Amino acid sequence: MICTSFFELFKIGPGPSSSHTVGPMRAANLFRELVLQYFTHYGAAGNYRIRCELYGALAATGHGHGTHRAVLAGLFGQIPQTVNTEWLSSLLETAGEVYMPDFSGLKMPFTEHDIFFDYTHNPYRHPNTLKLVLLNNFRPVFERIYYSVGGGFIEEEGAATLSANTKKPRYEYHNMDSLLLTLQAQNLHIDELLLQNETALTGLTEEEIMERIGQIMEVMRQSVRQGLKKEGILPGGLHVYRRAKGMYEKVQQHAQHGRHAEALFARLNAYALATSEENAAGQMVVTAPTNGAAGILPACLEYLRHDCSVPENTLRKGLLVAAMIGFIIKDNASISGAELGCMAEVGSAASMAAALFSYCNGGDIHEIGTAAEIALEHHLGMTCDPIKGLVQIPCIERNANGAIKAYNAYLLAAGRAGIGKPVISFDQVVEVMRQTGQDLSHKYKETATGGLATTFGWGNMPGS
């Protein structure tokens, strides 16, 4: 049964990676709470330190993604929604600098030497593993193992899913087929069912939910608008130029010359580049469903809002429908590049965006499902091999392509209306993605040990 709420899937936080920054920051914050509880019970007298160990993809691409900074920010008690991104990107930049996070009066020293990147072994069950240990006089007091399972969601070893909603939805479904049956049995439209589920999961009224969806969409819109204004080179040493502004300037030229297809593509490209470049620069974005794929849905929303004048209320409901696609993929496969490769991130985002396009253009649930299926099907096999562990190459252009593919998937789905049931269903393609991702070599799952990350001599050491 799907119990994920819209607001768990779409979270505001700093770039560049939801599994490498948002998740670890949340984990460190949870650990901080445990340390505070411990000091309340046993006192804080002693020589305390916290050690952080990063394994798997968190180690392999952690430097490039800023995982070390996210952990330290979490130990300071910062949370992704409100952390100051400038302060965050300055952390651990100077060798030997000592930070003093305050644990209710006890200031505990923390330096870069308190973070250990294990590039060779991961003895744990998930590719994104983070271990935090409280030490007193160099002896462990207690430890916790956290898994960053994609999109900023965190699981703790031996505990129930930390981000799992304990409330139940009003209408149960676990995939598209069961959703279709429920819609038919209850005689409900898809947006009605999803809104009623959100009220049950969050305790909010429908009006409050719509308002909060609007707030999330505003952060997305700002990420597009800010990104369209900026120029220059992105941080990280790859010398990747921001291109959103220049691409947007091309839109008018294309339109003036009657090149309408080019103008449409340039718009979607520019909007997707804008948010993805903001994400790569560590600015605030929304996990959609992850930070690596955060450019696609804002781009499609911006196109529908700004260029197609789709009403705000329709967009909000459309984003709720897009979330439903994300819920099903997350529940039955994964939205994590470290687990299943980029098809799980950019593929999922494109699938969600195809559903958004379809809903906003009047598609029924069958057409929405077909659009989502087509978009996901044509991302199957896509590898995750970011160069230097930065979310720049191939990630930024991949978002632009994802937005274009989403639009085309909607067109393909709309164009086949009346032909009968598609050969491949949405549920089937989700299962194929899960199997394909499992078969994919670990080299292509955010480990920086293959593909673009190593082929052209970039080396596989983070920060190299």
Residue 65's alpha-carbon distances to 21, 61, 111, 401, in angstroms, are: 7, 6, 18, 22
Does 346 engage in binding with ligand SF4 (CB under 6 A)?
Answer: yes
| 337 is a contact residue toward ligand SF4 (CB under 6 A) | yes
CB of 432 to ligand SF4, least distance (A): 18
Residues numbered 423 to 462 that lie near ligand SF4 (CB under 6 A) are 446
Find the binding residues for ligand SF4 in span 357-416 (CB under 6 A): 384, 386, 391, 394-395, 398
Sign of CA dihedral 196, 429, 443, 156: positive
Find the shortest distance in angstroms from Cβ 95 to ligand SF4: 27
Piece of the chain touching ligand SF4 by CB under 6 A; list 154-162, 173-181, 342-350, 411-419: 342-350
State how far the Cα of 103 lies from the Cα of 113, in Å rounded to an integer: 20
Q: Report the C-alpha gap between 67 and 45 in whole angstroms.
A: 30
Count of residues near ligand SF4 by CB under 6 A: 13
DSSP E strands in 245-321: the ranges are 284-286
Q: Tell me the closest approach of the beta carbon of residue 406 to ligand SF4, in angstroms.
A: 15
Q: Looking at beta carbons only, is 369 or 386 nearer to ligand SF4?
A: 386
**Taking contact as CB under 6 A, which single stretch among the options 172-180, 219-227, 264-272, 337-345 is the one that binds ligand SF4?**
337-345
In the region spanning residues 258 to 317, those forming contacts with ligand SF4, defined by CB under 6 A, are 292-293
Q: Which is nearer to ligand SF4, 22 or 251 (CB)?
A: 22
Toward ligand SF4, which CB reaches closer, 345 or 367? 345
Nearer to ligand SF4, 111 or 460 (CB): 460
Min. distance of Cβ 229 from ligand SF4 in angstroms? 23
Using the minimum distance from each CB to ligand SF4, give the nearer residue, 73 or 384: 384
Shortest Å, Cβ 438 to ligand SF4: 16
What are the phi and psi torsion angles at 463 (to 5°)?
75, 5
For 326, list phi and psi in degrees, rounded to 5: -60, -40
- Judged by DSSP in three states, 445 sits in strand
CB neighbour list of residue 122: distance below 8 Å, 6 or more residues apart: 55, 56, 59, 129
Q: Smaller CB distance to ligand SF4: residue 74 or 402?
A: 402
Residue 342 touching ligand SF4 (CB under 6 A): yes
The strand ranges marked E within 151-208 are 153-156
Strand 115-117 and strand 48-56: the pairing is parallel
Which of 370, 399 has the CB closer to ligand SF4? 399
Distance (Å, rounded) from C-alpha 71 to C-alpha 64? 14
Q: Of 101 and 462, which has the nearer Cβ to ligand SF4?
A: 462
How far apart, in whole angstroms, are the C-alpha atoms of residue 58 and residue 288? 20
Separation CA 158–CA 367 (nearest Å): 41
Q: Nearest approach, Cβ of 425 to ligand SF4 (angstroms)?
A: 25
3-state DSSP: the chain helix, strand, coil percent, rounded to 5? 55, 10, 35
**Residues with Cβ < 8 Å from 203, sequence gap 6 or more?**
167
Please, which residue, 58 or 176, has the CB nearer to ligand SF4?
58
- State which of positions 165-224 bind ligand SF4 (CB under 6 A): none
Binding site for ligand SF4 (CB under 6 A): 292-293, 337, 342, 345-346, 384, 386, 391, 394-395, 398, 446
